[in-house]
A and B are shown apart, each in its own frame.
Chain A
Amino acid sequence: MTSFLEPILAPFIGMMLTTIVIILIKVAIVIGITLLHVAYATYWERKIIGFMQFRLGPREVGWFGLLQPIADGVKLFFKEDIIPATADKPIFYLAPVIFFVSALTSLSVLPFFDGFAVADINIGLLFLLAMSSLGAYGIVMAGWSSGSKYSFLGGLRAASQVISYEIAMGLSLVGVMIMAGSLNLTEIVKAQANYPTGFYAIPQVLGFFVFFVAMFAETNRLPFDLPEAESELVAGYFTEYSGFRFAMFFLGEYTGMLIMSAIGTLCFLGGWTLPKFFMDLLPFLSQLPPIVWVVVFLGKVYFFMFMYYWVRATLPRYRYDQLMNIGWKVLIPLALVNIIFTGTLKIMGWF
């Protein structure tokens, strides 16, 4: 998309700088759009959960409450930044930064449509998993450095939860890697587009299910929001944070949700593509401009985001031992079965 800039800029500032400028423009676009999505993800969450509970959700700020996220943001930025006296200050400062940065860094490898990714690297999927586990460090450090028992318990819970669910999530994605034969997200999407069903969720039902459940646990969302269980731990690991530091955790959490939705879309629902049989049926679709495929991609992401809200509005929180049971005794064996199953079929040449 930004390649048209190359012939314009290159004669003036050289090839090297042009590449950097183009990358910076891409980064600005991706971060800008994502943060806008994060802001309105909170709005839609409150709206949808409100309607599911016979309420109206935000109504007062702007038309239908559409300016509510902006009002919330302004409020957070101008709040007093309180640091507890017992806090371990350097770590306390560092924790939200790690959490937020690791969430934002994950964005760099996501292809939003064909050929648009900040860094289209060959180990994209692995990079995403690495970044999401790096985010757990932010949570653990926040819990440890706050000097509060609630934060500490929240941090401990987050650590064990994220680590155990990361295994299930990684294993559930192995099936996709085997089928696509690549870790590059663009390659995975292209492999899906050429697959008869058009997306991997159909042959990879088990993997999709495991991913779907692990997705909730990984982003600390209901029904697995034990690290920030309001009724038990005040707010869990970010109890002692306020103002902009709290906003960084908040933004990081919602960015994490968007990234998990994007991973689910790219690996299981065919990313920005539509199934091949559908494309053959309506051949004019392939002539459409790339903006249409961004919309297709975002539509699938919104589906996942809606599932987050829907599940949150429906299910109560799991008990901690139940959470661990599901993770270790159900999801990991299921994911392993899925790998063996997929691998066998691959060797036999069915996939």
Chain B
Amino acid sequence: MVLMKKNSLIKIMFFTEILKGMALTFRTLFKPAVTRRYPKVKVPAQPGYRGLHALAKDNTGRMKCVGCGLCGAYCPSQCIHIYTTEGEDHNKVVDRYEVDVARCIFCGFCVEACPFGAITLSEQYDYANYSKDAFYMNKEKLLANWDTYFEGEKGNQYFKKFWRPLTEDFKGNPEQAMFSKIPRKEKR
């Protein structure tokens, strides 16, 4: 007990705690900083990051989107607007495909919903702009985004890596309630 008191007295008299702290800060002085000098040195986004939208193109350079409208129907913030017309041989032609990025919540449901792997979320995260119009993406801008951010192999790998590619696998989860599993009679 007496010894402890002596120790604490020495601690108080010679500021051992303060000196320990000073030693720590002095050692830190020579350690490298953790600062990332952001606008000059960009940190690559983590794989699978949900950033700016892009409309996928297939290998021939045509837009994958067929204008089914599932993404727009699924979108919780209703920021996808699709306008289609009937083409020459009775196919659907996507006239306008617009994403209001300023309203988007980046949930990724559109990517999940799309049966053709047409809408994607790129790893691009810094697209700040002074005008609102820059955040209203039309079809041309979205297709250009694909060329910019999903060039080559990256675009091919995107769905396989991060999303269950529905284009290759339409089977649902066995646990999931699906119409095809329900016997015909009950369905009636």
Residues of A within 8 A of B (CB): 48, 50-56, 59, 310-311, 313-315
Contacts and interface: CB of A to CB of B under 8 A. Distances in A.
B31 A54 contact: yes
A51 B37 contact: no
Contact of B25 (A55, A56, A59, A313): A313
B32 to A, nearest CB: 8
B107 interface: no
B36 to A, nearest CB: 10
A52 B33 contact: no
Binding site of A, secondary structure by majority: helix, strand, loop or mixed?
helix
Contact of A53 (B22, B26, B28, B30): B28
A50 B33 CA distance: 8
A56 B41 CA distance: 14
A334 to B, nearest CB: 11
B22 to A, nearest CB: 5
A51 B35 contact: no
A51 B29 CA distance: 5
A287 to B, nearest CB: 36
B177 interface: no
A59 B22 contact: no
Contact of A55 (B18, B26, B33): B33
Interface residues of B, number: 14
A51 B18 contact: no
A314 B24 CA distance: 8
Contacts of B37: 56, 59
B29 A314 contact: no
A196 B22 CA distance: 30
B182 interface: no
B21 interface: yes
A71 to B, nearest CB: 18
A311 B29 contact: no
Nearest to A50: B33
B22 A314 contact: yes
A54 B29 CA distance: 8
Contacts of B21: 314-315
A314 B28 CA distance: 11
A54 B28 contact: yes
B29 to A, nearest CB: 5
A52 B28 contact: yes
A302 B26 CA distance: 16
B43 interface: no
B17 to A, nearest CB: 10
B34 interface: yes
B35 A56 contact: yes
B141 to A, nearest CB: 32
A51 B35 CA distance: 10
Nearest to A209: B15
Contacts of B34: 54-55
B35 A55 contact: yes
Contacts of A53: 28
13 contacts: A51-B28, A51-B33, A54-B33, A54-B35, A55-B35, A56-B35, A56-B37, A310-B22, A310-B25, A310-B26, A311-B22, A314-B24, A315-B18
A314 B25 CA distance: 6
A314 B18 contact: yes
Contacts of B31: 54
B151 to A, nearest CB: 32
A197 B12 CA distance: 28
Nearest to B32: A54
Contacts of B22: 310-311, 314
B154 to A, nearest CB: 33
Contacts of A50: 33
B18 A52 contact: no
Contacts of A315: 18, 21
Contacts of A310: 22, 25-26
A52 B35 contact: no
A351 B21 CA distance: 36
Contacts of A52: 25-26, 28-29
A52 B37 CA distance: 18
A52 B18 CA distance: 15
A48 B29 contact: yes
Contacts of A56: 33, 35, 37
Nearest to A316: B21
A315 B30 CA distance: 19
Contacts of B30: 51
A195 B35 CA distance: 48
Interface centre among A48, A51, A311, A314 (most CB of B within 10 A): A314
